Amino acid sequence: MLDSTSRRVKKLHIKTYGCQMNVYDSARMADVLAPLGYAPVEKAEGADLVILNTCHIREKASEKVFSELGRLKPLKERDGTMLAVAGCVAQAEGQEILARAPYVDVVLGPQAYHRLPELVARAARGAGAALDTDFPVDVKFDHLPAPAAGQGPSAFLTIQEGCDKFCTFCVVPYTRGAEFSRTADAIEHEARQLVDAGAREITLLGQNVNAWHGAQGEGLGALVRRLARIEGLARLRYTTSHPRDMDDDLIAAHADEAKLMPFLHLPVQSGADTILDAMNRGHTADRFRAIVARLRAARPDLALSSDFIVGFPGESDADFERTMDLVRETGFAQAFSFKYSPRPGTPAAMIERQVPEDVKDRRLAALQALLKEQQDAFNAATIGRTVPVLFEKPGRHPGQLAGKTPWLQAVHALAPAEFAGRVLDTKIVALAANSLSGVVVDSSVEAGERRSA
């Protein structure tokens, strides 16, 4: 039975670090806490419960968590704010969090979100810090409530979680566990719920999203085709894929499924075969080139994004130049690049030939300059063109809406609020600081996503 105090609206602040799966997980945590009376707020100050949904991928990412906890400690002392640490740092360093920040009330790994209400209640009773970093992935999805309405026109949906690839630099197989695919039925059910709640675009998420497979062994291509039949859904995307799992059927889906957007994030990490091998990526640079060629043959307007690591142990100047060559040849619309960060417990951290920091800095600067040049050129090429834009939310200035092109470019345009959730033909007129500036050409009809070049 709820008494009158527990029925009071409680303020929940979630701060999300890391990848899009953490963004999805944060939304699901808010969903499971809603029945207990928790409503999301923007600020940690004044909140009843603050959850840090953490990332462990690079050293800086996890250090941030401990400094943030230090900043939150006074809130706890002053207002009794309850503090929870979720996500991948919680999974990897649960005990260390309790040792270094004993004032934390709840520590829970990415597979324990459905137990949040219980863990929070336990901590509220003053029964001491609650820690749950068990690993039963499938159970979690069975216990998640329907996504709340009003999450906007663009939604995330986790279809696959975990990783069996064990790249030698990466903590994800340890923090998220073994590969797990949700069933096609469960995914379609959640997709329909999202569309009913207002989603026009769904991004399918997984650490290796294209390793997803259904009960009959069907792959991601089949799932995309099935979801594309959902009426009202305009756009589908998927991330993050691995080159090794890019199969023929998925490539074919890029050719024949108009709702599948012509933008793909396909991490390659390096252009040098010796480094790819030492990373245990399971493919060569030429194999990546061949996959890109087939994707572009299937969908000529496909734009690519990728992840790169510079300064992996043993990387020579010549190896790094192979990466620069690959970038020059391929052409990326966007990309993320990182200095290699040794992670405790991963094989690469034990390699003796670590690359000095100043060399990593130099390589990163050179790579980022090249990638920025490509990104600017890609964006500039859109100027003067009319492209379908999915409008999502108010822009930074009054009267503006912000949206995305099929190639994930941010666009802002003068448009009334009721255009949010619509895909409209928009002429791109200028390149602004962080987005393209556009003018809606025709608001009487929904734009077709697929146009003849």
**Out of ligand SF4, ligand F3S, ligand SAH, none, which partner does residue 187 contact, by CB within 5 to 8 A per kind?**
none
Separation CA 166–CA 77 (nearest Å):
41
Residue 29 CB, nearest approach to ligand SF4 (Å): 22
The H or E element that residue 83 is part of is strand 82-86
**Out of ligand SF4, ligand F3S, ligand SAH, none, which partner does residue 285 contact, by CB within 5 to 8 A per kind?**
none
Backbone phi and psi for residue 440, each to the nearest 5 degrees, phi listed first: -65, 125
**Out of ligand SF4, ligand F3S, ligand SAH, none, which partner does residue 21 contact, by CB within 5 to 8 A per kind?**
ligand F3S
Question: Which range in 55-63, 262-270, 375-383, 413-421 contacts ligand F3S by CB under 6 A?
Answer: 55-63
Separation CA 431–CA 114 (nearest Å):
44
Task: Count residues binding ligand F3S (CB under 6 A).
Answer: 14
By CB under 6 A, what part of segment 5-24 binds ligand F3S? 18-19, 21-22
Beta carbon nearer to ligand SAH, 260 or 335 = 335
| Contacting residues toward ligand SAH, per CB under 6 A | 57-58, 169-170, 172, 207-208, 240, 242, 267, 269, 307, 309, 338, 340-341, 343
Question: Which range in 168-176, 263-271, 399-407, 415-423 contacts ligand F3S by CB under 6 A?
Answer: 168-176
One-letter identity of residue 15: K
Residue 208 CB, nearest approach to ligand F3S (Å): 11
- Which residues are within 8 A (CB) of 369 and not within 5 positions of it... i.e. 6 or more apart? none
Of 238, 298, 240, 312, the C-alpha closest to 269 is: 312
**Out of ligand SF4, ligand SAH, ligand F3S, none, which partner does residue 360 contact, by CB within 5 to 8 A per kind?**
none
Separation CA 305–CA 332 (nearest Å):
6
Beta carbon nearer to ligand SF4, 170 or 333 = 170
254 in Cβ contact with 221 (< 8 Å):
no
Residue 381: both structure tokens together:
């090429």
Separation CA 232–CA 212 (nearest Å):
24
Residue 161: both structure tokens together:
């979680």
Beta carbon nearer to ligand SF4, 115 or 242 = 242
CB atoms under 10 Å from CB of 46, counted, come to 11
**Out of ligand F3S, ligand SAH, ligand SF4, none, which partner does residue 166 contact, by CB within 5 to 8 A per kind?**
ligand SF4
Q: Given candidates 115, 176, 182, 427, which one binds ligand F3S under the rule CB under 6 A?
A: 176
Q: Between the CA of residue 363 and those of 41, 274, 330, what are the distances in Å? A: 41, 17, 19
169 in Cβ contact with 53 (< 8 Å):
no
Chain residues binding ligand F3S by CB under 6 A are 18-19, 21-22, 55-57, 87-88, 171-172, 175-176, 207
